[in-house]
Amino acid sequence: MPSLAQHVLEYSRGQRLLRAGHRVGVAVSGGADSVALLRLLLELRSELGIVLAVVHFNHKLRGAEAEEDEHFVAELARLHELTLHHASGDVAAHALKRHVGLEAAGREMRYGYFWKLLQTDLDRIATAHTLDDQAETVLLRMVRGAGTRGLAGIYPQSTWQSALINQPRCGTIIRPLLAIRRPRLEAYLGELGQPWREDMSNRDLRHARNRVRHGILPRLERNLNPAVREVLAESAEIARGEEEYWQAEVARALPAIWQTAGGLKVGSLLALPLALQRRMVRAAAESLGLRLEFRHVEEVLKLAEENSGSSIALPGGWKVTRSHSAMQFCSAAVKPKAGDYEYPLRVPGSAEVPEANLRLEALLVAASGQTAAGALLDAAQLPRELRVRNWRAGDRFWAAHSRRPKKIKELLQERHISGDERKLWPVVVSGDEVVWMRGFLASSQLRPPSGAPEAVIIREVTPSAE
């Protein structure tokens, strides 16, 4: 039987997680999984040709225990003569500010720190997600409702891309232990005589993941299938392959069906197989920053088969109206008029606006070190696809130094902009909120907070100048 290190080596090579010369930060919390990951990569670093460092983020949630964890990790790094990258953050305060749970807030701050390191000091950060974590994730998503995208679970590697002006960078998180069970890692540490820290919050049954880990999965193992964790992990592997295939199919077929002004061609949509119809509707909605549940997708498809003139309501104040040949997505709050324009703007990406003789670019940049801070938008609060359109009656914008959002009509009047130029004045919206307006700084309500890893800049490029 191959050794545990050999298993990790083969998995890393099979998934192409590492290559010689990579500077790899190992995310070490002090728990058994992350300590085992560090020891395994230390064992393999010569064969892999990588340079190791230790990364630790203190969430400040467990008082003295958290401080002792940090001291333990620092001593581990010192013992093995590794560089230590460490930071801390008030996760509880961040959760309150962002209106999210502690787990989500902790992940947001932790991965924000990871992103910062990947822009400067490291090429990869390795986290200690295991096969057990994968099984728990798949089961949780299954019972909450998920398609193949959700059932794909945790990916062996995740890459973020950032379009820094003249300096494109990417950051990759790798998970070399995703095919390894947690008990095998603990046995490995026992053989080495390597201690680790126990996080007692992992026993708190108020958290859904802990109830799955300590209650539901053990019962399934005893009463249904002793290999249920492996089966769930295999299901995630199958779902990832399916998802990759469908993403390619959607990217190929969507341009022929999805019109830039927010309309789906009904005849072309209904000619597709049902599975692809569902994905087309979901992808079209997501291009507008709208995430649909399964029941909403089914309602849209039912509308496609009805007579023109019908409409349905969707979340976030959106609605879809069925005409003779198309279904139009639009906000129920703002009715487009003749002569209005609207185009998708991906982040990062660009959009041509011939009506205003311009092209807009949306760039993902590192939030720190930017000289034009007033032009930055918080990437965490924006979808990956915005919309650029002319302003509409009732639109408001949080201009710089303003105590309230002002009507765009008033802002344009103050600058003596009139006639057709005023009618076609471009804005960028997320949902119904105007986040950018030509000639103004970015929305003051969406500035990135201190310590944010990345931000969005929207800039104007005049086609004739290229």
Spell out a b/e string for 199-216, using b for 16 or more CB atoms within 10 Å of the CB, else e: beeeeeeeeeeeebbeeb
Residue range 61-119, pLDDT digits in tens: 888 999 999 999 999 999 999 999 999 988 888 788 767 678 878 888 898 889 889 88
Say what percent of the chain tops pLDDT 90.
43
Dihedrals φ, ψ of 34, to 5°?
-75, -35
Average pLDDT of the segment spanning 275-280: 92
Query: Under DSSP, is residue 417 helix (H, G, I), strand (E, B) or coil?
Result: coil
Distance CA 365, CA 164 (A): 5
- Which three-class secondary structure state does DSSP give residue 373? helix
| Beta carbons within 8 Å of 226's beta carbon, 6+ residues apart | none
Map residue 177 onto helix, strand or coil.
coil
The more confidently predicted of residues 370 and 362 is 362
Q: Are 387 and 428 in contact (CB under 8 A)?
A: yes
Identify the pLDDT of residue 465. Answer: 35
What is the share, in percent, of the chain residues with pLDDT greater than 70? 90
Q: Which residue carries 């053990």 as its tokens?
A: 218
Q: Give the mean pLDDT of the chain.
A: 86
Closest CA to 61 of 118, 2, 114, 106: 106
Is the per-residue pLDDT at 273 higher than 50?
yes
Question: 3-state DSSP call for residue 181?
Answer: coil
Q: Which of 17-31, 365-379, 435-449 has the lowest mean pLDDT?
A: 365-379
Domains along the chain with CATH numbers:
4-239 (3.40.50.620), 261-331 (3.30.465.60), 342-465 (3.50.40.10)
Sequence-ordered strand ranges (E) for 241-348: 258-259, 263-265, 311-313, 318-322, 326-331, 342-346
Contact status, residue 73 vs residue 67, Cβ threshold 8 Å: no
> Whole-model pTM?
0.68
Nearest partner of 76 among 108, 107, 41, judged by Cα: 41
Q: Each residue of 313-345: pLDDT tens digit? A: 888 778 888 887 888 887 655 444 557 888 888
Q: Given strand 51-58, what is the order of strands in its sheet? A: 83-88, 51-58, 23-27, 124-126, 169-174, 157-162
Residue 165: band (very low, low, confident or very high) from pLDDT cuts 50, 70, 90 = very low
pLDDT computed for residue 408 by the predictor? 92
**pLDDT at residue 192, rounded to an integer:** 96
Question: Which of the two residues, 218 and 116, has the higher pLDDT score?
Answer: 218
| 142: nearest Cα among 19, 35, 233, 270 | 233
Q: Give 137-164 pLDDT, tens digit per residue.
A: 999 999 888 888 889 999 999 876 543 3
Query: What's the CA gap between 388 and 351, in Å, rounded?
Result: 8
